[in-house]
């Protein structure tokens, strides 16, 4: 069925029932700053409904094309089911049936099998060794395409890498979030939130965002760089205007080249406790990315999101060329659970990290929390300490940590 995501746009929920009566469902998220080569999210294009964003065609594809084909198959055959849907679609980018339709089914199948087998989803997907709770990279300040403010960089994350457990880590950064609100208020800045629940104030520069976050960390009683470090997702594709030009709207920025951005990043990494930087350059700027990684890759995690789109074809190129040292992982960028697992495996084999992620348009589905846990990536981002579609994932991880008791692990790297 068609449901609404956290931005009020239509998305897909898929219901599934196994022959023994087990039934469940899964809901699909949706991005805003999407990579050019992501699998296609099928939308109706009928301007009379939701401005063209309806997903009734994708729903019909699940009901009329996919479901009849899967009838009689075994839910534990995840890879076979996923392959069947890929073949049914027949296109390179899932544009015929829609990656939203296919992923909804893929996730529902995995969840149904875990319920049937009576084991938690993270254990079904990750095995008995899945006991490392990912560090929550909390996006407490939003900019770019996720907010209507003056900040170009999309996400500023507080990363509680020095906490003793997930539960404590979450507390560190949630407290920082509340202190940050107070600081913004004191300065007469907006405390309204962006799409991922972080504050979206109009600041004078991107650098001011980092400085105020550091201030909030300290005021909350934590040590920047020891208890809590900083991650950035520039989502640079969104301010790349072509011909080696990045057009930043903040006062001290203006037009910058790849080299300008890399120089600025080097300064920031030397000056601030930054441990992770995602999409510092645009999706087509492979050379810039490589240079960035050459100069900063031994100091921080360099994550490719729009450039790799969770696709093994691009991740493999990145590994060969030294483009980054980590890939963002989003299920709906590639469209099936088994292809996402393949992308993770490729990262792991290359000694890369893999950073698990929600989308800016989310639902309350918690699949991501179990998935990140199962893949043993060690960190995930699910937005801020506001908006329940963000917190359901963090809360699910608290539940898992409690369930695991002293078998649970929590560490950075
Ligand atoms: P998106 O943002 O879901 O809008 O693509 C998330 C990200 O860029 O990491
Ligand atoms: Zn990103």
Question: Half-sphere exposure of residue 311, counting CA atoms within 13 Å on the CB side?
Answer: 19
The catalytic position among 94, 181, 330, 393 is 330
Q: Pick from 110, 120, 107, 115: which is nearest to 13 by CA? A: 107
Q: Which of 196, 278, 283, 339 is catalytic?
A: 196
> Ligand 2 mean position to 306 CA, how many Å?
7
Q: Under 8 Å CB-to-CB from 85, ≥6 apart: which residues?
A: 66, 69, 97, 102, 105, 106, 336
Q: Is the pLDDT of residue 252 over 90?
A: no
Q: What separation in Å is there between the alpha carbon of 196 and the centre of ligand 1? A: 9
357 alpha carbon – ligand 2 mean position (Å): 8
pLDDT, position 298: 98
- Average pLDDT of the residues in 64-77: 98
Helix (H) or strand (E) holding 291: helix 286-296
Beta partners for residue 136, in sequence order: 380
Report pLDDT for 150: 83
Q: How many domains does the chain have?
A: 2
pLDDT number for residue 149: 83
Show the tokens assigned to 385.
Answer: 């300490």
The answer to whether residues 231 and 107 belong to one domain is no
Point out which residues pair with 148 in neighbouring strands: none
Q: How far apart are the first and last CA of the chain?
A: 40
Average pLDDT over residues 168-195: 97
Q: Give me the CATH number covering residue 89.
A: 3.30.390.10
pTM of the predicted model as reported, rounded to 2 decimal places: 0.98
Are 387 and 328 found together in one domain? yes
Q: Residue 125: inside a domain, yes or no?
A: no
Query: Domain boundary at 118, 147, 167, which?
Result: 118
- Which residue range(s) make up the domain with 340? 135-407
126 located within any domain:
no
Q: Of 118, 151, 172, which one is at a domain's C-terminal end?
A: 118
Express each pLDDT in 1-55 by its tens digit. Answer: 999 999 999 999 999 999 999 999 999 999 999 999 999 999 999 999 999 999 9
pLDDT at position 147: 85
Residue 228 DSSP code: B
The CATH number covering residue 277 comes to 3.20.20.120
| Nearest ligand to the CA atom of 33 | 1
| Same domain? 59 vs 147 | no
The percentage of residues in the chain with a pLDDT greater than 70, rounded to a whole number, is 99
pLDDT computed for residue 198 by the predictor: 96
Element (DSSP H or E) covering residue 304: strand 301-304
Looking at all shown ligands, the one closest to residue 35's CA atom is 1
Tell me the per-residue pLDDT of 90-106, one tens digit each, with 9 for 90 and over. Answer: 999 999 999 999 999 99
Which residues fall within 8 angstroms of residue 123, CB to CB, at 6 or more apart? 114, 130, 374
Separation between Cα atoms, residue 141 and residue 126, nearest integer Å: 32
- Asked which of 118, 145, 179 is the last residue of a domain, the reply is 118
Mean pLDDT over each residue of the chain, to the nearest integer: 97
Is residue 130 assigned to a domain? no
What's the pLDDT at 330? 98
Structural domain contains residue 124: no
């Amino acid at each position: 069925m068609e449901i609404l995501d956290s931005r009020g746009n239509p998305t897909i929920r898929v219901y599934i029932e196994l022959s023994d009566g087990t039934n469940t469902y899964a809901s699909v998220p949706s991005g805003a700053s999407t990579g050019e080569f992501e699998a296609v999210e099928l939308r109706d294009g009928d301007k009379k409904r939701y401005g063209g964003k309806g997903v009734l065609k994708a729903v019909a594809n699940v009901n009329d094309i996919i479901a009849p084909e899967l009838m009689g198959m075994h839910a534990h055959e995840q890879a076979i089911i996923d392959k069947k849907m890929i073949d049914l679609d027949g296109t390179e980018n899932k544009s015929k049936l829609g990656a939203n339709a296919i992923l909804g089914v893929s996730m529902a199948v995995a969840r149904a099998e875990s319920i049937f087998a009576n084991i938690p989803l993270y254990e079904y997907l990750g095995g008995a060794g899945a006991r490392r709770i990912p560090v929550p990279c909390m996006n407490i300040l939003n900019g770019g395409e996720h907010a209507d403010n003056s900040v170009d960089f999309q996400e500023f994350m507080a990363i509680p890498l020095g906490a003793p457990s997930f539960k404590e880590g979450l507390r560190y950064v949630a407290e920082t979030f509340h202190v940050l609100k107070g600081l913004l208020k004191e300065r007469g800045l907006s405390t309204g939130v962006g799409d991922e629940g972080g504050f979206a104030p109009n600041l004078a520069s991107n650098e001011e965002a980092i400085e105020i976050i550091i201030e909030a960390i300290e005021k909350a009683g934590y040590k920047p760089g020891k208890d809590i470090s900083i991650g950035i997702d520039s989502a640079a594709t969104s301010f790349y205007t072509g011909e080696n030009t990045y057009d930043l709207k903040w006062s001290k920025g203006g037009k910058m080249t790849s080299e300008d951005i890399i120089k600025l990043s080097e300064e920031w990494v030397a000056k601030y406790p930054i441990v992770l930087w995602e999409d510092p350059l645009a999706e087509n700027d492979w050379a810039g990315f490589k240079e960035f990684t050459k100069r900063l890759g031994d100091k921080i995690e360099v994550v490719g999101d729009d450039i790799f789109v969770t696709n093994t074809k691009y991740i493999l190129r990145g590994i060969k060329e030294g483009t980054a040292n980590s890939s963002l992982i989003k299920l709906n960028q590639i469209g099936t659970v088994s292809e996402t697992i393949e992308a993770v495996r490729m990262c792991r084999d290359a000694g890369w990290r893999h950073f698990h992620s929600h989308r800016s348009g989310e639902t309350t589905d918690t699949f991501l929390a179990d998935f990140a846990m199962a893949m043993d990536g060690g960190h995930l981002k699910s937005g801020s300490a506001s908006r329940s579609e963000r917190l359901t994932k963090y809360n699910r991880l608290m539940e898992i940590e409690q369930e695991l008791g002293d078998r649970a692990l929590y560490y950075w790297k």
